[in-house]
Amino acid sequence: MKSHLPRKEILFIIPLTIFFTIIVFIPFIRIIAGSLLVSETKTLGLQNYVKLITTGAIVRSIKNSFLLSLWSTLIAGTIGFFFAYAISKRRERWRNLLVTINTLPLTISAVVTAYGFLVVFGDSGLVNGFLMYFLNSHISRFFNLLSIGGLIFVYQFFQIPLMTIIVASATSSMDPHIEEAARSVGANKIQIMFKIVIPHLLPAIIAGLSLLFINAFGAYATAFALVEANMNLVTLKIVSQFSDIGYDPGLANALSLLVVGVATGFVVLYRVSLNRIERPAK
């Protein structure tokens, strides 16, 4: 009976292997090959990668994407962490309700999200209408939704719930008696937070921040729905290389590999952090 088990396992793996080859491996090899093809001369070379560090617009798009990802990650990571910690202190009924409410933004389409923010915070939105009617002032004096800062603000809609879910799952493994023991010896809330809670949840925090950065760096639909091609971001730049005006698929492939490289680095960090979370449970 045991001798037939490996053969059966191989049969189960074959469909996954075929699927992975068609959906992931072949397109990835095609992107690598395409990144080495120079569109202007139809020859092979590294010119597309040179453009990544020498072309001003490309360099700015990379810088903007990193800034957008970094700030949206730090803000959402901080808020999501404290929200998850606060949820863990509630009774089970309220905790389940808060978790359910928290996950709702993750089920909403990116395009719908962008449209909703435009309706509320856009030039023709509710907030601007209120300001014009009561204060005779325009929202652009205080806030520009169609900017890097505006995108950071919009990204919090799905970044905060994501961070909350990751950290909340780790808070359940914390022994509440540890905090009680710390209070009994005179530790205040700040000491408990920085000496007990954060060190215990650090792997989950790092995993959450890694996932948030990947999510923001590779996001496309929300940014495009808000600003279309009017902002310099890597994902928007990739799509623009297939337009009639700036057709350059080789550069688009090189940019795509940049996104894959950044995502891969943070995925490795995410997996290492998850392994550290799971290790105590074994």
* pLDDT 10s digits, 124-137: 888 888 888 888 88
**Which of 168, 145, 167, 165 shows the shortest CA–CA distance to 155?**
145
Task: Evaluate whether residue 17 is within a structural domain.
Answer: no
Q: What is the pLDDT of residue 153?
A: 94
- Between vectors from CA 68 to CA 63 and to CA 70, what angle results, nearest 5°? 95
What's the gap between Cα 269 and its chain centre? 14
* pLDDT 10s digits, 2-26: 545 566 677 778 888 888 899 989 9
| pLDDT grade for 1, boundaries at 50, 70 and 90 | very low
**One-character DSSP codes across 181-231:** HHHHTT--HHHHIIIIIHHHHHHHHHHHHHHHHHHHHT--HHHHHHHTTSS
Task: Evaluate whether residue 139 is within a structural domain.
Answer: no
Task: Report the domain count for the chain.
Answer: 1
Task: Evaluate whether residue 145 is within a structural domain.
Answer: no
Task: Evaluate whether residue 100 is within a structural domain.
Answer: yes
* pLDDT 10s digits, 21-69: 999 899 999 999 999 988 777 788 899 999 999 988 899 999 999 999 9
| pLDDT grade for 279, boundaries at 50, 70 and 90 | low
Q: Across residues 231-243, what is the average pLDDT? A: 87
Examine the pLDDT at 96 and tell me if it is beyond 60.
Answer: yes
Q: Across residues 264-271, what is the average pLDDT? A: 89
CB 244 within 8 A of CB 163: no
Task: Evaluate whether residue 125 is within a structural domain.
Answer: no
Examine the pLDDT at 282 and tell me if it is beyond 50.
Answer: no
Q: Across residues 76-87, what is the average pLDDT? A: 93
Task: Evaluate whether residue 204 is within a structural domain.
Answer: yes
Q: What is the pLDDT of residue 144?
A: 87
In angstroms, the CA 1 to CA 7 distance is 11
Q: Which domain, by its residues, includes 163?
A: 36-108+159-281
CATH classification at residue 249: 1.10.3720.10
* pLDDT 10s digits, 150-166: 999 999 999 999 999 98
Q: What is the pLDDT of residue 195?
A: 86
Task: Evaluate whether residue 127 is within a structural domain.
Answer: no
Q: What is the pLDDT of residue 281?
A: 46
Task: Evaluate whether residue 136 is within a structural domain.
Answer: no
- pTM across the whole model: 0.86
Q: What is the pLDDT of residue 244?
A: 64
- Residue partners of 235: CB distance under 8 A and separation at least 6: 65, 218, 219, 220, 223, 224, 259
